[in-house]
């Protein structure tokens, strides 16, 4: 193969691009930009420059980069960018439990903490039909705490694949995050990696793996939404890692 040839069927133009900014940011950018402009016009540069920094931070917070999602059957990919802070065996949430939900067995919950510096667009962990979307009002505790899964404001979702597997996941608000945004509803069809929502500003996302499915991801690992493989349905060999 010469250096000018590409593998058959691979004609993508792969290069770095500035990420897009999600439309959810527009009103915040308009407000912050307006305030910065007023400060500049009034000659209050000591306030204007920090406000301009806020504008840049908002644009960064709502960035929406392109992601390349693996298409192998049965793969569960990360629904969020962030740090894997908890991996525990727990009962499914009451809102997702039962015979028409995730059942009653213990299942592995992987928790991904999103800081204010992470991309906050959430993506579907697997393709299928949205079966449940359940919003629960609650507290705004530190999202790093284990009890945030039961006490914080949150939104539970469940997808059923075409071969009947069900995967549950939960958007959880935190100390700073005060707004859970979801773009989907029950009955919608999603593909793995498709954008389904976001949380403003920083928080956590839990994903519940089907019984008999072990995580391929480890504590302390950085997850990338739509790309990092969390697990493969039916594979029970858990991954381990070494911080270095």
| pLDDT tens digits, 172-198 | 886 655 578 888 999 999 999 999 988
> What number is the average pLDDT over the span 149-171?
88
* Domain ranges, ordered by start, for the chain: 20-64, 75-232
Q: Across the chain, what does the average pLDDT equal? A: 85
Per-residue pLDDT at 202:
63
Residue 139: pLDDT band (50, 70, 90) is: low
Prior bond to 228 cis, omega within 30?
no
Taking each helix axis from N to C end, the angle separating 26-41 and 45-61, rounded to the nearest 10 degrees, works out to 170
pLDDT value of position 91: 93
Pick 203 or 10 by higher pLDDT.
Answer: 203
The answer on pLDDT for 152 being more than 50 is: yes
Q: Which of 78, 111, 149, 203 is catalytic?
A: 203
> Catalytic residue at 33?
no
What is the SS3 string spanning 146-203? CCHHHHECEEEEEEECCCCCEEEEEEECCCCCCEEEECCCCCCEECCCCEEEEEECCE
Which whole-number Å values give the CA distances from 3 to 6, 8, 9, 12, 16, in the listed order?
A: 8, 14, 16, 15, 20
Which candidate, 126, 143, 128, 118, places its Cα nearest to that of 224? Answer: 118
Q: Which of 8-17, 56-65, 100-109, 121-130 has the lowest mean pLDDT?
A: 8-17
CATH class label, 75-232: mainly beta
Percent of the chain past pLDDT 70, that is, above it, reads 86
CB 203 within 8 A of CB 114: yes
Task: State mean pLDDT over 106-116.
Answer: 91
pLDDT value of residue 204: 87
pLDDT classification of 141: cutoffs 50, 70, 90? low
């Amino acid at each position: 193969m010469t250096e000018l040839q590409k593998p058959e069927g691979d004609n993508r133009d792969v290069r770095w691009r500035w990420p897009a900014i999600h439309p959810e940011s527009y009103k915040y950018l308009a407000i912050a930009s307006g305030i910065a402009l007023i400060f500049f016009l009034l000659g209050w540069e000591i306030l204007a420059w920090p406000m301009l920094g806020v504008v840049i931070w908002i644009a960064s917070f709502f960035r929406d980069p392109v992601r390349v999602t693996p298409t192998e059957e049965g793969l569960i990919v990360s629904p969020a960018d962030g740090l894997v802070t908890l991996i525990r065996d727990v009962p499914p949430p009451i809102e997702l439990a039962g015979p028409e939900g995730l059942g009653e067995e213990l299942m592995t919950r992987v928790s991904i903490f999103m800081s204010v510096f992470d991309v906050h667009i959430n993506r579907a962990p697997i393709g299928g039909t949205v079966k449940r979307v359940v919003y629960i009002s609650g507290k705004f505790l530190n999202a790093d705490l284990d009890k945030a899964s039961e006490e914080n404001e949150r939104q539970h979702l469940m997808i059923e694949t075409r071969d009947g597997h069900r995967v549950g996941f939960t958007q959880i608000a935190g100390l700073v995050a005060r707004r859970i945004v979801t773009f989907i509803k029950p009955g919608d069809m999603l593909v793995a990696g498709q954008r389904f929502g976001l949380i403003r500003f920083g928080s956590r996302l839990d994903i519940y793996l089907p019984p008999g499915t072990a995580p391929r991801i480890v504590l302390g690992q950085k997850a990338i939404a739509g790309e990092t493989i969390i697990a493969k349905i039916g594979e029970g060999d858990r991954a381990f890692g070494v911080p270095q």
